[in-house]
Chains A and B, each alone.
Chain A
Amino acid sequence: MMNRAVFGLGARAAATAARAPVLSPAQALRAQQRFASSSSQSSQSAFGKTKGEAALWFAKAAAASAVVGVSLSTFVLTDERLEPLAQGAASLMAAAGMPTAHAFSTGDNGLHPPHWPWDYNKPWATFDHAALRRGYQVYREVCAACHSMDYIYWRNLVGVSHTEEEVKAMAAEYEYQDGPDENGDMFMRPGKLSDPMPRPYVNDNAARKANGGALPPDLSCIVRARHGDADYIFSLLLGYCEPPAGVTVREGLHYNPYFPGGAIGMARSLYDEVVEYEDGTPNNASQLAKDVTQFLAWASYPEQDQRKKFGFKTIGITAMILTLAIWWKRFKWSHVKSKKFVFQPNAVCARCDCEPMYL
Chain B
Amino acid sequence: MQKLVYNVFFRRSSSYLATIFATAFVAEIAIDGFSDRLWDAANRGRQWKDIREKYISN
Q: Which residues of A contact B (CB under 8 A)?
A: 124-130, 133, 159-163, 165-166, 279, 305, 309, 312-313, 316-317
Contact = CB atoms under 8 A, between A and B. Distances in A.
Interface stretch (B4-12, B14-22, B50-58): B50-58
Q: Which of B31, B42, B43, B57 has the most CB of A within 10 A?
A: B43
Nearest to A160: B48
On chain B, which size bracket covers the interface? 10 to 19
Contacts of B43: 124-126
Residues of B contacting A: mostly: helix
B46 A128 contact: yes
Nearest to B34: A316
Interface of B: 31-32, 35, 38-39, 42-43, 45-48, 50-52, 54-57
B39 A129 contact: no
B56 to A, nearest CB: 6
B47 A312 contact: no
Q: Which of B32, B45, B51, B57 has the most CB of A within 10 A?
A: B51
A162 B52 CA distance: 8
Contacts of A127: 46
Nearest to A162: B55
Given A124-B42, A312-B39, A129 B51 contact: yes
Given A163-B55, A165-B57, A316-B31, A309 B48 contact: no
A256 to B, nearest CB: 31
B56 A129 contact: no
9 contacts: A124-B42, A126-B46, A128-B46, A130-B51, A163-B57, A309-B35, A312-B39, A316-B35, A317-B31
B55 A166 contact: yes
